[in-house]
Amino acid sequence: MSDGMSDAKPALDSESATPHVVETHQLKLWSQISAKDLQDLRLLSADEKIHETSPFPFSPQINSKIALWFGDITQLAVTAIVNTTNEHFSERSLLNERILSKGGPQMRHFLTEKVRVCKTGDAKLTKGYDLPARYVVHTVGPKYNSKYHTAAENALYNCYTKVLQISRDNGFSSVAFCAINTPNRGYPRQSAAHIALRVVRRFLEHYSDSVDIIVFAVDDVDIGFYQLLMPLYFPRSHPEEEYALYYLPQDVGGEYGEPVIPEREIRIAAKPNTLSTIEESVDLSSGLDTSVAVGKTTFAKMHGDLDKRRKRQPNPIKDGDPMTQEIQRGHKYERLLRKAKAEDFSDYINARCLYISGEDSMGRPIVVMIGKRFTASTMCNERTVMFLIRLLDSVVVKEYIVIYFHSLTQKENLPPISFVQNIYNLLGYEYKKNLKCFYVIHPSIWCRVICWWFTTFNAAILKRKLFCVGGVEFLKNVIPLQELQVPSFVMDYDFKAMIAFIFNQS
């Protein structure tokens, strides 16, 4: 090992020891957590599979090497934990500050004086010093910009592979990953989780003998994404494997989980290392035809037959251009708002299913929705829409947040997707722009699937603003709980859910 990287781990004394240390044998492996009952799940929209065969088949052996753990990564007594930081190890994030603080002054000194800098997509190794973990792998995730999505995806992939490479080269038996993205860097959490899961899955397919356990140690909003996505990459049963065929993204990366752009692939031969025998007849002119003929290149195939496409395109006069559609939307919105101002909504107000409740820690108004208090059969009508826009019209002119409590919500409380879609299409740009966070509290697995589907195929602008949260407790750092006016049944459910979660983790 390099300077400052000896294998010896200093004994933890009473002053430097972490108050609560979690050993790997205390973690519940992914294979020990029973698979969800998927029999009652119904596929959304089209019943077509995205994949005909599973890119990530059911593997009890791989599942026995994985753990999903909700908690503070600095408490884990593993060989190495992962820290996500910036190029100069000065990231002002809770995780980086916690690791550097609990690691002690020696860690901070070694990083600033010896390591000094780490490039985006790279990783650097230090001792754990005062942490329970023997080592810390510090890595720098990319700053996300949707214009340069491919570059960011490659950089994030490099972060995970670099950490795994360091772990394998040094013979680490246990590694705990944080979610390698920070709010300051802006990488969409759900997209980042996809990359993390598929890269680790591919690593275990190739090198499972080199490690005993890999832990996904997540907290706050990331736990929801990992609970939803892990069955896709680590199915625990054949029904979960079948389920993943419908919900895995089309792009699952290459052999090692690396991003793949088909348009940039250059295929020389099916087996480039295999020499052709001299007896084989080769038509040298055939390659020329396929490589330069217009309409046969990969680029041309991306666009298809332009004449046929023009014939299939809708008549712009009949369907209306975007400007005309926006004008029509605005007229409809204003008409409903005028009607709403003359309407008596005492029944909606008394139901307390939708209301404004104080402000968050940044002074933004909080819109609260109580799922259990909605009755879809009677509220899916024009009056519901009018009540919504009358309540929110004056709120959305500035930044605001929405908190939706899914606690104890039943089927009869859920409006159809088409109704939600119509409302979304009616609301103007200021609604989407000024909405800063949409928290879903106590989401069921079906609720998570709906959220993913809706933000993927209908409301992409909301994808980075939607967070599925396991309990009210996770909101306390951003929202004073006394501001929420949460119904007692929600808090009772929250308490029971938290007890159940702690029990399952033990």
Question: 344-378, pLDDT tens digit by residue?
Answer: 888 888 888 899 988 887 888 999 999 998 887 66
DSSP for residue 36: P
Residue with structure tokens 């230090």?
A: 126
- pLDDT at 267 exceeding the cut of 60: no
pLDDT at residue 461 tops 90: no
Taking residues 107-125, what's their average pLDDT? Answer: 94
Residue at 83 is within a domain: yes
Q: Indicate if 240 and 336 belong to the same structural domain.
A: no
Q: Is a pLDDT exceeding 90 seen at residue 120?
A: yes
The more confidently predicted of residues 263 and 45 is 263
Residue 31 lies in a domain: yes
Angle at alpha carbon of residue 138, lines to 171 and 201, rounded to 5°: 55
Per-residue pLDDT tens over the stretch 183-195 = 778 898 889 999 9
79 in Cβ contact with 133 (< 8 Å): yes
pLDDT attached to residue 43:
42
Q: Quick one: tokens of 243?
A: 């389920």
233 and 336, same domain (yes or no)? no
Instruction: Tell me: do 26 and 175 sit in the same domain.
Output: yes
Which pLDDT score is estimated for 46?
41
**Domain end position, chosen among 215, 247, 279:** 247
Between 487 and 167, where is the model more confident? Answer: 167
Residues 351 and 232 in one domain: no
Instruction: Give residue-wise pLDDT tens across range 71-90.
Output: 899 999 999 999 999 999 99
- Given this model, what pLDDT does residue 503 score? 65
In a domain, 120, yes or no: yes
Last residue of a domain, one of 231, 247, 263: 247
Partners of 393 in the beta sheet? none
Q: Looking at the structure, do residues 123 and 34 belong to the same domain, yes or no?
A: yes
- Residue 100's pLDDT is 95
314 lies in some domain: no
Residue 47: predicted pLDDT: 53
> Above pLDDT 90, what percent of the chain?
41
- Sign of the dihedral through C-alpha 100, 105, 106, 109: positive
Predicted model pTM: 0.56
The total number of structural domains that make up the chain:
2
Range of lowest pLDDT (19-33, 287-301, 323-337, 453-467) = 287-301
Mean pLDDT in residue range 386-395: 91
Q: Same domain, yes or no, for 207 and 338?
A: no
CB 158 within 8 A of CB 116: no
Domain assignment present for residue 412? The answer is yes
> Tens digits of per-residue pLDDT, 280-291?
333 333 333 333
> Looking at 205-209, 277-281, 454-458, which range is the least confident one?
277-281
Average pLDDT, the chain: 80
Q: Same domain, yes or no, for 499 and 365?
A: yes
- Domain span at residue 29? 22-247
- Confidence class of residue 276 from pLDDT cuts 50, 70 and 90? very low
- Clarify whether residues 364 and 497 are in a common domain: yes
- Tell me, what's the pLDDT at 331? 83
d(CA 17, CA 8): 16
Is residue 477 included in any domain, yes or no? yes
Query: CATH no. for residue 44?
Result: 3.40.220.10
CATH number of the domain at 353, please. 3.40.525.10
Q: Which residue has the higher pLDDT, 268 or 5?
A: 5
The pLDDT score that the predictor gives to residue 225 is 85
Q: Which of 247, 269, 295 is the last residue of a domain?
A: 247
With residues binned 3-state (H G I as helix, E B as strand, rest as coil), the percentages for the chain, rounded to 5, are: 45, 15, 40
Residues 140 and 29 occupy one common structural domain: yes
Q: Are 72 and 98 in contact (CB under 8 A)?
A: yes
Average pLDDT over residues 377-397: 85
Average pLDDT over residues 453-463: 83
pLDDT digits (tens, 9 = 90+) for 126-171: 999 999 999 999 999 999 988 888 999 999 999 999 999 999 999 9
Residues 270 and 284: their CA atoms lie apart, in Å, by 17
Q: Return all residues near 476 (Cβ < 8 A) that are at least 6 apart.
A: none
Read out DSSP for 422-462?
Answer: HHHHHS-HHHHHHEEEEEEES--HHHHHHHHHHHHHT-GGG
- The distance from CA 354 to its chain's CA centroid, rounded to whole angstroms, is 27
Domain-embedded: residue 317: no
Contact 180, 159 (CB under 8 A): yes
Cβ contact 83:137 at 8 Å: yes
Dump pLDDT digits (tens) for 411-442. 888 888 888 888 888 998 889 888 988 999 99
